[in-house]
Every structure is written in C-alpha cells, then in structure tokens.
C-alpha cells in the first residue's frame, strides 16, 4: 500500500516533482498536491470513543466515507488525508491515494494506520 506520513520520505510514486527537502511533512505534501490541482479530501475521527457496552467502554474511532465521493477520487487520481484526533489535537496523519483506501462506509482508523 502506498502511503505517506510524517516518518517517511516524500513519495516519488506520485509522478510529480518531489518537495525539497526529502523529509517533507504531511502539511508540505498536502500543499504540494493542492498546488498541482490534485483533489484531496479530509477525513477525521477521534482516536477512541465511548460506547454503551459495559465490557468494552471504548472503541477505536471510525472515518466515514461516501461512495460517490470515493469513486470520484479514484477516477480523478485523488487522495484522502486521514487525521486522528485526541479531543481537539491531531495525533496522527496519513495521506493516501484513494485507490489504495479500502472502501467501507465506516472505516476503522486502524485499517489505515496499522496496515
């Protein structure tokens, strides 16, 4: 799976000129894609959310994907920017081509970050 996060080198598989320096942040990669006219959609979720189940009071957060938007991003070569939040703070970010994102209406963040 092709991904890009804060700890990796800039993805040369984008087919566009890499951002300098090679250790670019997610923000720099996002800005570069937007400058190139690439469609990027933002999805956020909380790291953990409370449940009503007494045995499992918390579960991992879920990203919500729209089927029509998903197909549009695949057709246009677009990307998703996934952000995991802890309250109001961003704790993880990952930029991925839509074609590499498994489609499900509700997508557990672990399917993106632990893959």
Asked, for residue 69, whether it belongs to a domain, the answer is yes
Q: 46 near 86, Cβ under 8 Å? A: yes
Q: What sign does the dihedral 54-47-67-102 (CA atoms) show? A: negative
Does the pLDDT of residue 14 top 60, yes or no? no
Asked, for residue 3, whether it belongs to a domain, the answer is no
pLDDT tens for 42-70 read 999 999 999 998 888 999 999 999 999 99
Domain of residue 45: give its range: 41-113
Rg (CA), the chain: 15
Asked, for residue 107, whether it belongs to a domain, the answer is yes
Asked, for residue 9, whether it belongs to a domain, the answer is no
pTM: 0.74
Asked, for residue 109, whether it belongs to a domain, the answer is yes
pLDDT of the residue at 24 = 56
Asked, for residue 104, whether it belongs to a domain, the answer is yes
Asked, for residue 35, whether it belongs to a domain, the answer is no
Mean local confidence (pLDDT), 16-27: 49
CA distance 80 to 103: 12
Q: Count CB neighbours of 86 within 10 A.
A: 12
Mean local confidence (pLDDT), 27-42: 86
Number of domains present in the structure of the chain: 1
Higher pLDDT, 106 or 25: 106
Asked, for residue 36, whether it belongs to a domain, the answer is no
pLDDT tens for 73-87 read 999 999 999 989 998
């Amino acid at each position: 799976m092709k991904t890009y996060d804060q700890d990796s080198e800039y993805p040369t598989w984008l087919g566009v000129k890499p951002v300098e320096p090679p250790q670019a942040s997610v923000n720099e990669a996002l800005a570069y894609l937007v400058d190139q006219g690439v469609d990027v959609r933002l999805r956020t979720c909380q790291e953990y959310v409370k449940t009503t189940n007494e045995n499992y009071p918390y579960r991992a957060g879920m990203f919500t994907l729209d089927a029509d938007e998903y197909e549009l991003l695949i057709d246009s070569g677009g990307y998703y920017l996934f952000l995991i939040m802890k309250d109001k703070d961003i704790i993880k970010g990952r930029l991925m081509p839509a074609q590499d994102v498994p489609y499900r209406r509700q997508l557990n963040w672990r399917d993106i970050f632990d893959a």
